Structure 1
Amino acid sequence: MKKFILIAMVLFGYSHFSQAQSPEEKLKALGLELPEVSQPMANYVKWKQVGNVLYLAGNGPDVYGKVGADLTPEQGYQAARETGLEILAVLKAATGDLSRIKQFVKVLGMVNSAPDFTGHPAVINGFSDLMVEVFGEKGKHARSAVGVAALPNDIAVEIEVIVELEDQ
């Protein structure tokens, strides 16, 4: 019986510790670093907060070309993941602490794709998978993943995000 209690305490402590990791600690554990937040390309802001909701402008990677023509779906996935890191950097700049994010609400993922390419959801999974790795259940979100004829400067993907923040 004592062994069972000891094992249960160890397992509970381990799961409690892993759940208590901050998003920044999870990024570090994944070996990921946030990039610098770039300036907007035109006359807009990177984010807008209304109450406890934070709306992010579209962000994209330093990966160029059309998925299904110039890039493989796997390269598109990595481009979406890279965009996720950029979005996390914007979220950190906007909030000061990624732990302030209560939940991801809605994501719009646009894929610069060849006309016959239909794997848009698999490409945008690069972003979605990263958010779940970093935030767990809070990172799950409603999402649209669509193909478009072109994106600014021929970037491979562009992603917009809406998150809810914890009360301060």
Structure 2
Amino acid sequence: MSVYDKLKELNITLPPVATPAAAYVPFVRTGNLVFLSGHIAKKDGKAWVGKLGQTMQTEEGKAAARAIAIDLLGTLHAAVGDLNSITRIVKVMSLVNSSLDFTEQHLVTNGASDLLGEVFGARGAHARSAFGVAQNPMGACVEIELIAEVG
């Protein structure tokens, strides 16, 4: 099944690439690798603000991470032109805005990882890091960056 057929089945429409909020580019392609800059969680077009373990719980954070994965797919599509050319999602790094005692960053990040697996199948299995951080830009609850390989 094509990646786009799977997205349609999941009722996902890819968003356009967001304009960077600072001095960086949304992606860099070098050789067969594409590095996507960090994408923050958004809700209703604005930063999805919150701190896991304080104002948000794991399931809401997981939904935010899934929303970021959709935005990442939109940027990846813009970077490569055809998501079917992705041979592997190589690495995901997640920064979860967390209280000091919150320890479920890995579960929050599953929101993105699970979607990438659904969309790409075995090609979506990736290495990953999930960190708890004191704050993200604009107070966003989660920020995620991604590295992919293109065939």
* TM-score normalised by structure 1 residue count: 0.85
In the alignment, is the contact (CA less than 8 A) between 2:17 and 2:26 conserved in 1?
no
Q: Which residue of 2 aligns with 1:102?
A: 87
Q: Structure 1 residue 31: deviation in Å? A: 1.2
In the alignment, is the contact (CA less than 8 A) between 2:89 and 2:149 conserved in 1?
yes
Q: 1:34 & 1:114 partners in 2: Cα distance?
A: 32
Q: Secondary structure at the match of 1:144?
A: strand
132-141 vs 59-68, which moves further: 59-68
Q: Which residue of 2 aligns with 1:81?
A: 66
Matched-pair identity in % = 46
Q: Number of residue pairs matched? A: 146
Q: Which residue of 1 aligns with 2:13?
A: 33
Higher percent of residues as strand: 2
User: Of 125, 143, 151, which residue of structure 2 is paired with 1:140?
Assistant: 125
Q: 1:165 and 2:150 equivalent?
A: yes
Unaligned runs of 5+ in 2: 43-47
Q: 1:22 and 2:2 equivalent?
A: yes
Q: Secondary structure at the match of 2:108?
A: helix
Higher relative contact order, structure no. (Cα contacts within 8 Å, ≥ 6 residues apart): 2
Write out the 4+ residue segments of structure 1 that deviate beyond 3 Å after TM superposition.
none
User: Of 30, 39, 47, which residue of structure 2 is paired with 1:50?
Assistant: 30
Q: 1:57 & 1:136 partners in 2: Cα distance?
A: 23
Letter in 2 for 1:85: I
Q: Which residue of 2 aligns with 1:123?
A: 108
Q: Rg larger in 1 or in 2?
A: 1
Q: How large is the Cα RMSD of the aligned pairs? A: 0.7
Higher percent of residues as helix: 1
Unaligned runs of 5+ in 1: 1-20
* TM-score normalised by structure 2 residue count: 0.95
Q: Secondary structure at the match of 2:56?
A: coil
User: Of 96, 105, 119, which residue of structure 2 is paired with 1:111?
Assistant: 96
Q: Tell me the alpha carbon deviations over residues 44-66 of structure 1, each in whole angstroms, 9 at most, x when there is no partner.
A: 00000110111110011111110
Q: 1:108 & 1:129 partners in 2: Cα distance?
A: 14
